[in-house]
Amino acid sequence: MNGAAVFGEALREQRIARRLTQAELAEKAELSERAISDLERGLKHPQRASVRLLYSADRPIWQVRHGGPGRTSIRRLRPFVNRD
């Protein structure tokens, strides 16, 4: 599984765990529904700016997956982020 697919799977799992629709997450993160869908399906590598928006929009999404409050770090997501 490539980095985009791993990121997409984690994003989808955590969005569902938080009981958010793609539309709700897109609105919170100020991204399009299409962007969320493409990321979840692994069609696009996440851009650094998109990851920051997702992280800022709903911090608990990443805390559930990556160690709980105070242990979440954007650095943990770096392997999945397209640096372009």
Domain-located, residue 79? no
CATH number of the CATH domain containing 21: 1.10.260.40
The pLDDT value given to residue 34: 96
pTM for this structure?
Answer: 0.69
Domain-located, residue 84? no
The pLDDT value given to residue 72: 39
Amino acid identity for residue 80 in this structure = F
pLDDT digits (tens, 9 = 90+) for 37-73: 999 999 998 888 888 888 887 665 454 444 444 443 4
| b/e 45-58 (16+ beta carbons within 10 angstroms → b) | bbeeebbebbbebb
| b/e 69-81 (16+ beta carbons within 10 angstroms → b) | eeebeeeebeebb
The pLDDT value given to residue 79: 52
pLDDT digits (tens, 9 = 90+) for 17-29: 889 999 999 998 9
Determine the structural domain holding residue 25 and report its residue range: 3-72
Domain-located, residue 59? yes
Total domain count, the chain? 1
